[in-house]
Amino acid sequence: MRAVAGLGAAAVLLAGCTLEPHYVRPSPAVPASWPTGPAYPVQQAGPLPALSYREVFKDPHLQAVIGQALANAQDLRIAMANVQIAHGEYVAQRAEILPHIGVSGDFSEVHGGSTAATAGRGRTSRSYSADLGFSAFELDLFGRLRSLSHAAQARYFASEAGARAARLTLVGEVAGAYLTLATDRSQLAIAQDTVVSAQRTVTLTRARLTGGVAPRTDLTQAETLLDQARSDVAALTTQVAQDRNALDLLVGAPVLDAELPGSIENVAGLVGEVPAGLDSRILLRRPDVVEAEYGLKAANAQIGAARANFFPTISLTALAGRASPQLSNLFSGRNSTWQFGGGALAPLFEGGANVGDLAAAKGQRNLALAQYQQAIQRAFREVADALARRGTMDDQMAAQTDLERAAAQAYELSQARYREGIDPYLNTLITQRTLYDARRSLAETRLARAQNLVALYQALGGDPLIGAAPQARIEAAKD
């Protein structure tokens, strides 16, 4: 038994090399820093940021909705199932490097013919055996099995990164749907306020028309704004209901009314800033980029397996045990047996199969390299676009706020002048429409600012350490 264990250990120690190309992380095909110019905010130097969604989305109701979505989302469950599959495949492939040791027992009984000595009675012989050993264990001298194990491990880590990418996408989609619902509720409230205001104006104008003070055109003009606002209320009521349905679908269950946003004004300020730093290396931590790099590592390992196919395959068989004609003596005395054998199979003529496999493996590596660089370039573009929007967002927000304030003052002044008979109603109608549009535009601008922060959080990869595979967490920490 000790001999079999010793042979297995020696075989494993001999299998220590691979024919894989040495992996070196490719230099990212993007600039080392973010773009600069009038459209971009000034970035501060510092460590690469790592923010969880709770640090960015500070609204406790939104945090609860996101948590519910992470618990219920079917897309995330699919991604986690793929992780489980990849992990199982990796464990199974890694086990091929080690000898599969098994134990067996055997019993046989043979009844022979009678002889004169046995007086017509047949002879019966019995044999018992118990063996421990391994059969057809491939001695991985050229690293074929080890390369396949490395490839399976890389695919496992890639699936982990894919699950984190799915999680990040879900967080962003839920936050976006939540903010959209908040904005449409604000728009609905603005339209309802305008209906009330326009109705008062119509009542006033009708009274002035009855008294002979105002022409009929004033009444028809006042009714146009009222009808427009009433139409908007109907459309926005539908839109709010559809936004609620979209949020419920993302969450995977009905969201409680208490967790829904009241208005964009209440929640926009609870979306925190997302620092990008100066160094574009932060992109190497994005889940989709990490997934692409592990795909490249897997393809690189497959080259080692393809190269090893050009060399002989050596297999070993070792067996040690006991054999005895009596069960009671099976494990006593000198009944031990052992057997050892080996074989080698070298490729002689494969019709170009090994050459083709190696060429295909190199092609897969080149494809994975291009996909990796493409993922980084796409990530850089997304961050650059989000930063460009962020750099001008505050100026737009300030200007839109001033516009809404000025429009409200102009409307109040024009109403007073109309009541006193100084200005025609057309001036009041224009200022009232301007105020209505300014309030709606301000709500849309608040939404755009909040969505820009969500997009920047997603583009930077969120928190690279949440839900990451052990190896991914180690490498993210190094970056």
For 340-359, the pLDDT digits (tens) are 665 666 676 677 788 888 89
Assess whether 75 and 192 both reside in one domain. Answer: yes
Residue-wise pLDDT tens digits, 199-223: 888 887 788 777 776 677 778 887 8
Assess whether 52 and 133 both reside in one domain. Answer: no
**H or E stretch at 404:** helix 353-419
**3-class secondary structure for 304-371?**
HHHHHCCCCEEEEEEEEEEEECCHHHCCCCCCEEEEEEEEEECCCCCCCHHHHHHHHHHHHHHHHHHH
pTM check: above 0.85: no
pLDDT of residue 215: 73
Assess whether 413 and 298 both reside in one domain. Answer: yes
pLDDT of residue 479: 44
Please identify which residue in the block is written with the tokens 């305008």: 194
The listed range with the strongest mean pLDDT (47-51, 90-94, 127-131) is: 90-94
Q: Is residue 191 part of a domain?
A: yes
Which structure tokens are listed for 208? 């002035």
How many other β-carbons are positioned within 10 Å of the β-carbon of residue 370?
13
Residue 415: partners with Cβ closer than 8 Å, 6 or more residues away: 201, 428
**H or E stretch at 210:** helix 144-210
CATH number at residue 14: 2.20.200.10
Of residues 426 and 9, the one with the higher pLDDT is: 426
Q: 187 and 69 in contact (C-beta within 8 Å)?
A: no
Assess whether 15 and 45 both reside in one domain. Answer: no
CATH number at residue 82: 1.20.1600.10
pLDDT of residue 464: 57
Please identify which residue in the block is written with the tokens 């397996």: 305
Across 236-252, average pLDDT: 94
Q: Is residue 117 part of a domain?
A: no
Strand arrangement of the beta sheet that strand 101-111 belongs to = 101-111, 124-139, 313-324, 336-345
Assess whether 52 and 168 both reside in one domain. Answer: yes
In angstroms, the CA 159 to CA 84 distance is 9
Assess whether 376 and 263 both reside in one domain. Answer: yes
Beta-bridged to residue 339, according to DSSP, are 319
How many domains, the chain?
2
In angstroms, the CA 248 to CA 241 distance is 11
pLDDT of residue 44: 66
Helix crossing, 216-251 with 144-210: angle to 10°? Answer: 160
Within 13 Å and on the Cβ side, how many CA atoms surround 275? 13
Lowest average pLDDT, out of 227-241, 345-359, 427-441, goes to: 345-359
Residue-wise pLDDT tens digits, 93-135: 777 777 777 676 677 777 665 555 555 566 777 776 666 666 6
Q: Is residue 190 part of a domain?
A: yes
Whole-number average pLDDT of the chain: 81
| Total length of the chain | 479
Residue-wise pLDDT tens digits, 454-476: 999 998 887 755 544 445 444 54
In angstroms, the CA 331 to CA 407 distance is 101
> In 420-469, where does DSSP find H-type helix?
425-459
Sign of the CA dihedral running 402, 407, 408, 413: positive
In angstroms, the CA 67 to CA 15 distance is 47
Which pLDDT band, with edges at 50, 70 and 90, does 477 fall under?
Answer: very low
pLDDT of residue 77: 79
Indicate the residue type of 89: E
pLDDT of residue 62: 94
Assess whether 181 and 255 both reside in one domain. Answer: yes
Q: Is residue 341 part of a domain?
A: yes
Of residues 325 and 168, the one with the higher pLDDT is: 168
Sign of the CA dihedral running 248, 249, 250, 254: positive
Range of the domain at 21: 1-25+100-110+122-139+316-346
Q: Is residue 360 part of a domain?
A: yes
Res. 329: pLDDT tops 80: no
Assess whether 55 and 20 both reside in one domain. Answer: no
Q: Is residue 207 part of a domain?
A: yes
* C-alpha 441 chain-centroid distance: 33
The listed range with the strongest mean pLDDT (35-44, 122-131, 400-409, 420-429) is: 400-409
Assess whether 167 and 208 both reside in one domain. Answer: yes
